[in-house]
Amino acid sequence: MELTFEKDDLLYSLQVLQGVASGRTTLPILSNVLIQAADGKIECVATDLEVGIKMKVEGVIQEDGAITVSAKKLADIVKELPVDKTIHLATTANDRVEITCGDGVYKIIGLPDEEFPQLPSVDGHSLTIEGETLRAVLRRTEFAAATEDVRYFLNGLCFNFLPDRTEVVATDAIRLALACCEPFETPENVESFIVPLKAVKEIERTFAESDEVQVSIFENQILFADENATLTTRLVEGDYPPYQKLIPDSTVDKAVVPKEQILHAARRVALLSNPKTFAVCLEIDTEQIQISARTPELGEAHETLPVESSTGRVRLGIDARLLIETLAHIETESIAIEFTGAVAPVAFKPTNEERHICLINPMRLES
């Protein structure tokens, strides 16, 4: 195999693939990226047996072939090469890869491509999603998914297909984030599916600039693709909890506050919250919101913010980490905080936007 690349073209693909080609594996070849050239196109592939990504790379083929080589080591080398010189990559005897750029020559030990796992093909029903729509629903929800929950079905995002909309939801049983987009036509037997959290993060990275993304569903596999990349992943098996029951039909009161003001105030006050609980107190009335924290071993802090509008009063305990992360993922200048009492879930919504809601269960405050 003999290929020539521009640095930026090769480096971009390697940086995307590195998230999948993890070095922490009992199979050394899964730390490698497969580079293959055939039929006039060059492709780079990485997989961890759960998520697989294939990317087309612009380049010139002098000789067809295939080889696998350490994804991290190759990316590290390419990153340091000069941008104004082309990169020449060739295989030599005993599965070696020789990289030449200007006066530099680098030789890496590879592994034969025959040992590299084949990505599954998904030939099921296909639907098209606008790239920005896909990225938006993932961005607005993925932060609320569980990361270490024994209830494995919470370690992912649920896509729920309804007649008038598609709902994407994540929850770790303490908080919940839900975003909606237009309805999609899916196979008759598919009402919902759960995409694992690791795949969600790779989807955002792989299709960061895609105008449209094709989605194909087949049994326990799903495939995302655009003109340059393909990502496949196994779906999470199991039934997602009935999250609609967690969303209140109505709330008693609402306060509207500028997002940036409350976000930065929460970050500052949280510095003096208890490092075991991260609890802060949120006191809302018709004129203002006060955020405070008190820890005997550290000290105390409070900040008061004017509200744009408010219809009620409440005193809430809330985990500062969850509050900050939730506020950071709402994409409007003002945020509506809806509440019914000190123990009921608190809803955070972008103002004038019905397609995004975040819920946090309050904490018990020490008297």
> 3-class SS at 353?
coil
What value does the mean pLDDT take over residues 305-322? Answer: 95
Cα-based distances in Å from 261 to 264, 268, 331: 6, 11, 14
Tens digits of residue pLDDT in 10-66? 999 999 999 898 766 678 899 999 999 999 999 999 999 889 999 999 999 999 999
Token readout for 354 is 């019905």
pLDDT greater than 90 at residue 278 = yes
Domain 2-115 = CATH 3.10.150.10: yes
Q: Report pLDDT for 212.
A: 95
Q: Report pLDDT for 365.
A: 81
What is the spatial distance between Cα 300 and Cα 307, in angstroms, rounded to a whole number? 23
What value does the mean pLDDT take over residues 135-160? Answer: 90
What residue type is assigned to position 115 of the chain?
Answer: E
Q: Report pLDDT for 72.
A: 93
Place of tokens 């490092």: 275
Domain ranges of the chain: 2-115, 125-245, 248-360
* Average pLDDT value over all residues in the chain: 92
56-61 contacts at long range (C-beta below 8 A, 24 or more positions apart): 56/227, 56/228, 56/229, 57/5, 57/9, 57/10, 57/13, 58/5, 58/6, 58/9, 59/3, 59/4, 59/5, 59/6, 59/9, 59/10, 60/3, 60/4, 60/5, 61/2, 61/3, 61/37
Token readout for 269 is 């006050």
Structural contact between residues 189 and 173, judged by C-beta atoms closer than 8 angstroms: no
Domains 125-245 and 248-360 agree in fold:
no
Cα-based distances in Å from 63 to 46, 49, 59, 121, 137: 22, 29, 12, 27, 42
- Name the pTM for this structure: 0.88
Q: Report pLDDT for 271.
A: 96
* Main-chain dihedrals φ then ψ at residue 152, nearest 5 degrees: -55, -30
The fraction of the chain above a pLDDT of 90, given in percent, is 79
Query: 248-360, what's its fold?
Result: Proliferating Cell Nuclear Antigen (3.70.10)
Q: Architecture of 125-245 per CATH?
A: Roll (3.10)
